[in-house]
Chains A and B, each alone.
Chain A
C-alpha cells in the first residue's frame, strides 16, 4: 500500500512537472520547423489565455523582469544587427503566411464573419474593389505586415524603426521605458502608438490607438479601431527576421489571431536595391478613381489624348466632366 502511495505521488509529481514545462514552453520562442503546426497551435493557445493584448504584453514583461536595456555596445551583436534590405519571406498577401490569401485562420465573431462575407460578395460580383492605398494612404497596422515590397529595420538602444517602402511608412517602437500616450491625449492613427522592451534578444511590443482597416485586400477579414497587437520580434538567423503576432479585436475576433510573420534580407551585392520615395502623384498614370460599384479604375492616362472619348467606362467619362 505504501509502495502504491509512493508510486501515485511520483506520478502526480511527474504530471505537475510536465504541466509546468508546458506552461513555460508556451511562452518560449518556438521555431518554425518541422513541428510548426504543433508550435503554432501552442502559441495560439497561449494567446487565448489572455483577455486582451495589454494583459498579454504585461505578462510577458513581468516574466522577463521588465526586460533588459540595450546600449550602443550591443548594436553590432547579431541579435540586434537588423541592417540590410528585407522583404516578406512568403505567404503572398495573406496575413497568415501559412495559408492562401482567400482563406483565413482567424476565429471571427458574427460581425467579423459578416464583414468578410460582404467583401467576398463584392469581389464575386465586380471582380475587384477600391483600396485606400490607391491614393497613397498608408496600409495601416496590422495590415502593414503583409505588404510585399522592401523594408529596412533599424535597432537603436531606445527606439527601433520598422520601415516599409510603401508610402514611406515608418513604425517607431519606443524601448526607453516610456508608457503609451495617455488616453486623454490619444487618438487613432494608421500605425498607432507602440512601446516595447528587449528580452533575450527578442523585441516585445504592444501597439494600440489604431484605425480600422483590413488585413489585406481581397477576402481577408477586417479589423476595427479597437484592435491592438502584441508582437515578439527575433532575428532567427543571419538573414531572417521573424515575429509572433497576437492580434486582439473584440469586434471582429472571438479569440486573438496568432500568426508568425517573416522577412528575409535580400541579396544586394551591387547595392542597387534601396527604398525609394513612394508618392502616387509622381506619375499621372497612377491616379486611381473609386468607381460607383466600389471597384477601382485609372482616371486619366497621359499617353491617351482624350480618355473619356476612348473608354467605355461611365465612371471615366464622368470623372472627365
Chain B
C-alpha cells in the first residue's frame, strides 16, 4: 500500500495523466476514449524505445483481430514490475487503452488484469529511491 501511495503521489507530482511517450507525441491516440478488451497474449515485444503487447481478440463472428498495445521500454516496465516472462503467449488478459484515431487496432496501453492482478505500465515512472 505504501508503495502504491508513493506511485500515486509521484505520478500526481509529475503531472502524468496520459502516457509519457518516449519517442513520439501522443497525437495518434484518442485520449478521450478508453477501450477494454479481453483476449490472450500473442507476443510481448519487449523493446526500446517502446514495448508492444500483441493481444488476440476473438470477435463475435469467430474471427480473430490482433491488437497492439504500446507501453514504454523495458526499463520502465521493469520499474512497474512488468517483466517479459510475466506475459508469455497464451496468457488470458483483460486490457485497457486509448485507441488510435485512424481506426487501426493499435492503442496506448493504460492497464490490464492478468490472473486477477492489475498491472499498470505507467507505474514505472515512480521514483523509488535506493536505500542510503
Contact = CB atoms under 8 A, between A and B. Distances in A.
A binds B: yes
A101 B25 CA distance: 14
Given A101-B15, A280-B49, A311 B104 contact: yes
B47 to A, nearest CB: 4
Contact of B24 (A93, A126, A131, A301): A131
A166 B24 CA distance: 13
A260 B14 CA distance: 16
Interface residues of B, number: 46
Contact of B27 (A127, A133, A165): A127
B109 interface: no
Interface of B: 10, 13-16, 20, 22-28, 42, 45, 47-50, 52, 54, 66-68, 70, 73-76, 78-79, 83, 100-106, 125, 127-132
Given A128-B25, A301-B68, A237 B20 contact: no
Given A93-B20, A148-B125, A296-B27, 10 more contacts: A149-B22, A149-B76, A266-B79, A283-B50, A285-B50, A295-B25, A296-B25, A298-B104, A311-B102, A313-B101
B131 to A, nearest CB: 7
B47 A266 contact: no
A296 B28 contact: yes
Interface of A: 84, 87-93, 100-101, 126-131, 133-134, 136, 148-150, 165-166, 217, 237-240, 264-268, 272-280, 282-283, 285-286, 288, 295-298, 301, 303-304, 307, 310-313, 316
Contacts of B26: 127-128
Is chain A's binding surface mostly helix, strand, loop or mixed?
loop
